[in-house]
A and B are shown apart, each in its own frame.
Chain A
Amino acid sequence: MEKRLFLGDEAVAQAAIDAGLSGVYAYPGTPSTEITEYIQNSPIAQERGIHSRWSTNEKTALETALGMSYAGKRALCCMKHVGLNVAADCFMNAAMSGINGGLIILTADDPSMHSSQNEQDNRFYGNFAMLPMLEPSNQQEAYDMIYDGFELSEKLGYPILFRVTTRMAHSRAGVVTRPMKEENKMNCPEDGRQRFILLPALARKRFKTLLAAQEGFVAASEASSYNKYFDAPDKKLGIITTGIAFNYLSENYPDGFDHPVLKITQYPLPRTLITKLVEACDELLILEEGFPFVEEQLKGYLGTGLKIHGRLDGTLPRDGELTPDSVAQALGKEVKSFYTVPPVVEQRPPALCQGCAHRDMYDALNDVLKEYDGSKVFGDIGCYTLGALPPFRAIDSCIDMGASITMAKGASDAGVHPAIAVIGDSTFTHSGMTGLLDCVNENSPVTIVISDNETTAMTGGQDSAGTGKIQSICLGIGVDPAHIHTIVPVKKNYEEMKNIIREEINYKGLSVLITCRECVQTLTRKKKSAKQ
């Protein structure tokens, strides 16, 4: 078949299309965004009418994907790692109901936090929900495991959690594709009410069913050709790799392994293969991209059994992504640099673009807040988080999607004034609207700035669910119309913007200021494509 150059994310997307996908559901998030974008731009996906429009958040995405699966079709739901926290309610319970059409839930984890607030390893979620997991080691495996993954999901009757990490998601390699399958026909489950109504009496049965299914999940792992045992002569050490750690190990053994290696790419852990390695070797080294997930399971709480090396005993760093160098050091191999970074090299942090509307919003806000003592500005997730850096130094927090509004409310409840929230349009519709209702219900003295650039900018300018609707959403939630203002954040409106912010800070109730001007990046792109 044809060999094409794909990002890991693109390999996933093409594989899903080729596997007879009927819909992808997602909210943008690095490093998962390119999967949905690829399907949106794929001519064959358009021709087939595969659903690919962005969802409002990861929870709505997963619930919609589950609905499509309920109706018998194959669905893919993609998110960055922290997105699964948002979708966790549905995720945990989809493990209770099981699926009908194949359902793959893809989590793109970001160890080293290239573009994230934490480096959580979502394999723990997979274990928590007791679902089977796939974790490919390279782009070709990503393609093949998605291609076969929908069938696996249907065979087992459960969703599959599919884990990729930044380095694979955002790295290109040649990938051989396979023939395109037909989509499933719509076909709602006959036993749907027994499975999808999680009333306690039914849920108890479903949980027993899930527990009983575990043996089958392990058997599938044992039988998987992607979990592979490589024998080698030196049995002093046995090595287990998960996901892309296998590549870093291989890089250090260009002529073949010295020690027996077990490469794991499907979970639950393949018990027979692990036992075989443990029985053959004196000690173990565990290489995992992420948390010491396998290491903890094998070590146990007391750690009294076999000697196990990895992230827990300091053989590898406890945090951050693996590199070929950290793996080399763990193997006792020399890592040698010939040149050092000269001291003249300065840090170059990212910054808001020149001409960005967030800049004007922060300038006006900072100017007004100079007049007050004790003001706190609760920020949120998006480009405007960069307002934390000089020259603005404008925000005091950035925790999770939507937390600006609710943290400002809580701080205000505790007596902080002025309590300001700064949130973008896409983050507002993702998770800010519910917090706004909390503020409305108590008329909390919080001033909320919705910095509306009419896109999801940080991830590259995807459509934002609330474009053109932000003001009416605020009205609909019940914000007093006298305290909703919309203004274009440009230099000539500075004084007006400052006056509004000042007045609304002094008003002892809830107010919303929508500063609305399109992202300069999407604007430039639109102008360019209009020219062509």
Chain B
Amino acid sequence: MKADIILSGVGGQGILSIAAVIGEAALKEGLHMKQAEVHGMSQRGGDVQSNLRISDKPIASDLIPKGKADLIISLEPMESLRYLPYLKEDGWLVTNARPFINIPNYPEIETVNKELEKLPNKVVLDVEAIAKELGSIRAANIVMLGAATPFLGIEYDKIEDGIRRIFGRKGEEIVNMNLEALKAGYEVANKIHKS
């Protein structure tokens, strides 16, 4: 198997926490993994991305070539569009619907949505709204992870295990809340994926 994933968002949104769970699950599965991150100046509210590559064979490049990404996971809708040249023809884009507006020239959200609608394979969901309904806005990233899970090539229960290991030291309550968040995102995406 191989999954080339681009994670995107705005500095501070926490794309790396999503990558951490996927990475944990992949490593446990004995898969090869590379994950290029952005540190430094861009982290201050600028656009950020991470290239996450998982494979059952050794991985050469830390960066994903253009037109080869299987999946874009984005915590911000405009940011999800920034990396489209990397998406393969039948790749999936899974993005948060809620814009993060910290620039004066942020486009009308309708124009962003119109661009998203043009894509053949996408899941667009408001992860903050779903997380809020579950009672913890802080689990929004895990809702996003759940929505991306059907496209990862890693079994759902392995991702659950990853969450247990990463959040384990924070107590059972936090673990359960994140497992619920994972499930909520997963169910939204699974419906779209299978339809």
A residues contacting B by CB (< 8 A) are 3, 5, 7, 30-31, 33-34, 114-115, 167-168, 170-174, 244, 247-248, 250-251, 254, 323-325, 328, 335-342, 344-353, 383, 386, 390, 458-460
Interface string of B145-185 (1 = CB under 8 A from A): 00000000000000000000000000000000000000000
Asked if A339 contacts B27 (CB within 8 A), the reply is no
- With contacts A171-B62, A351-B46 taken as known, whether A337 is within 8 angstroms of B40 at the C-beta atoms is no
| Chain B: minimal CB distance from A296 (Å) | 25
- Residue of B27, B42, B111 near A350 (CB, 8 A) is B42
- Residue of A3, A5, A250 near B60 (CB, 8 A) is A250
Most buried by B among A250, A346, A383, A459: A346
How far does the alpha carbon of A358 sit from the alpha carbon of B78 in the complex, in Å? 28
Which residue of chain B lies nearest to A8 when distances are taken between CB atoms in the complex? B62
- With contacts A167-B63, A247-B62, A251-B65 taken as known, whether A344 is within 8 angstroms of B40 at the C-beta atoms is no
How far does the alpha carbon of A167 sit from the alpha carbon of B85 in the complex, in Å? 20
Neighbouring A residues of B84 by C-beta, 8 Å: 337, 339-342
- With contacts A244-B62, A248-B61 taken as known, whether A460 is within 8 angstroms of B39 at the C-beta atoms is yes
Asked if A115 contacts B42 (CB within 8 A), the reply is yes
Neighbouring B residues of A351 by C-beta, 8 Å: 44-46, 102
Most buried by A among B10, B36, B51, B62: B62
How far does the alpha carbon of A349 sit from the alpha carbon of B106 in the complex, in Å? 12
Asked if B81 contacts A342 (CB within 8 A), the reply is yes
Which residue of chain A lies nearest to B62 when distances are taken between CB atoms in the complex? A171
How far does the alpha carbon of A181 sit from the alpha carbon of B113 in the complex, in Å? 57
How far does the alpha carbon of A19 sit from the alpha carbon of B103 in the complex, in Å? 48
| Chain B: minimal CB distance from A456 (Å) | 12
How far does the alpha carbon of A459 sit from the alpha carbon of B43 in the complex, in Å? 10
Neighbouring B residues of A458 by C-beta, 8 Å: 40-41
- Interface: B135 (CB within 8 A): no
- Residue of A170, A345, A459 near B82 (CB, 8 A) is A345
| Chain B: minimal CB distance from A165 (Å) | 10
Neighbouring A residues of B43 by C-beta, 8 Å: 350
- With contacts A173-B34, A351-B102 taken as known, whether A31 is within 8 angstroms of B39 at the C-beta atoms is yes
How far does the alpha carbon of A335 sit from the alpha carbon of B65 in the complex, in Å? 8
Most buried by B among A7, A31, A328, A342: A342
Asked if B36 contacts A338 (CB within 8 A), the reply is no
How far does the alpha carbon of A30 sit from the alpha carbon of B39 in the complex, in Å? 7
Beyond A115-B39, A248-B63, A353-B44, 11 additional pairs, beta carbon < 8 A: A114-B41, A114-B42, A171-B36, A172-B23, A173-B62, A324-B61, A324-B63, A335-B67, A345-B78, A347-B103, A349-B103
- Interface: B128 (CB within 8 A): no
- With contacts A339-B119, A346-B106 taken as known, whether A171 is within 8 angstroms of B35 at the C-beta atoms is yes
Neighbouring A residues of B40 by C-beta, 8 Å: 30-31, 114-115, 458-459
How far does the alpha carbon of A337 sit from the alpha carbon of B84 in the complex, in Å? 8
Asked if B41 contacts A348 (CB within 8 A), the reply is no
Interface string of B1-41 (1 = CB under 8 A from A): 00000000011000000000001000100001111111111
Neighbouring A residues of B143 by C-beta, 8 Å: none
How far does the alpha carbon of A34 sit from the alpha carbon of B33 in the complex, in Å? 20
Which residue of chain A lies nearest to B88 when distances are taken between CB atoms in the complex? A338
Interface string of B96-135 (1 = CB under 8 A from A): 0000001111110001100100010000000000000000
Asked if B81 contacts A345 (CB within 8 A), the reply is yes
Asked if B78 contacts A344 (CB within 8 A), the reply is yes
- Interface: B193 (CB within 8 A): no
Asked if A30 contacts B60 (CB within 8 A), the reply is no
Neighbouring B residues of A337 by C-beta, 8 Å: 66-67, 84-86
Asked if A383 contacts B37 (CB within 8 A), the reply is no
- With contacts A248-B61, A325-B65, A328-B65 taken as known, whether A338 is within 8 angstroms of B87 at the C-beta atoms is yes
Asked if A171 contacts B42 (CB within 8 A), the reply is no
**Chain A to chain B contacts (Cβ below 8 Å), 11 pairs:** A3-B27, A172-B34, A173-B59, A247-B60, A338-B89, A342-B81, A344-B112, A346-B103, A348-B78, A349-B46, A458-B40
Which residue of chain A lies nearest to B59 when distances are taken between CB atoms in the complex? A173
Neighbouring B residues of A347 by C-beta, 8 Å: 47, 103
How far does the alpha carbon of A430 sit from the alpha carbon of B16 in the complex, in Å? 31
Neighbouring A residues of B46 by C-beta, 8 Å: 348-351
Asked if A344 contacts B115 (CB within 8 A), the reply is yes
Asked if B115 contacts A342 (CB within 8 A), the reply is yes
- Interface: B70 (CB within 8 A): no
- Residue of A171, A250, A341 near B37 (CB, 8 A) is A171
How far does the alpha carbon of A30 sit from the alpha carbon of B33 in the complex, in Å? 23
Asked if A34 contacts B39 (CB within 8 A), the reply is yes
Asked if B65 contacts A348 (CB within 8 A), the reply is no
| Chain A: minimal CB distance from B32 (Å) | 7
How far does the alpha carbon of A416 sit from the alpha carbon of B77 in the complex, in Å? 47
Neighbouring A residues of B78 by C-beta, 8 Å: 344-346, 348
Which residue of chain B lies nearest to A391 when distances are taken between CB atoms in the complex? B104
Which residue of chain B lies nearest to A168 when distances are taken between CB atoms in the complex? B62
| Chain B: minimal CB distance from A334 (Å) | 9
Asked if B44 contacts A114 (CB within 8 A), the reply is no
Neighbouring A residues of B11 by C-beta, 8 Å: 350
How far does the alpha carbon of A466 sit from the alpha carbon of B85 in the complex, in Å? 46
Which residue of chain A lies nearest to B112 when distances are taken between CB atoms in the complex? A344
Most buried by B among A34, A328, A345: A345
- Residue of A3, A115, A336, A390 near B67 (CB, 8 A) is A336
Asked if B67 contacts A338 (CB within 8 A), the reply is yes
- Residue of B32, B60, B102 near A348 (CB, 8 A) is B102
How far does the alpha carbon of A428 sit from the alpha carbon of B77 in the complex, in Å? 40
Which residue of chain B lies nearest to A349 when distances are taken between CB atoms in the complex? B46
Asked if B45 contacts A353 (CB within 8 A), the reply is yes
Neighbouring B residues of A335 by C-beta, 8 Å: 65-67
Which residue of chain B lies nearest to A334 when distances are taken between CB atoms in the complex? B67
How far does the alpha carbon of A335 sit from the alpha carbon of B86 in the complex, in Å? 10
How far does the alpha carbon of A475 sit from the alpha carbon of B10 in the complex, in Å? 42
- Residue of A170, A174, A352, A386 near B27 (CB, 8 A) is A174
- With contacts A31-B39, A342-B81 taken as known, whether A383 is within 8 angstroms of B65 at the C-beta atoms is no
Neighbouring A residues of B66 by C-beta, 8 Å: 325, 335-337
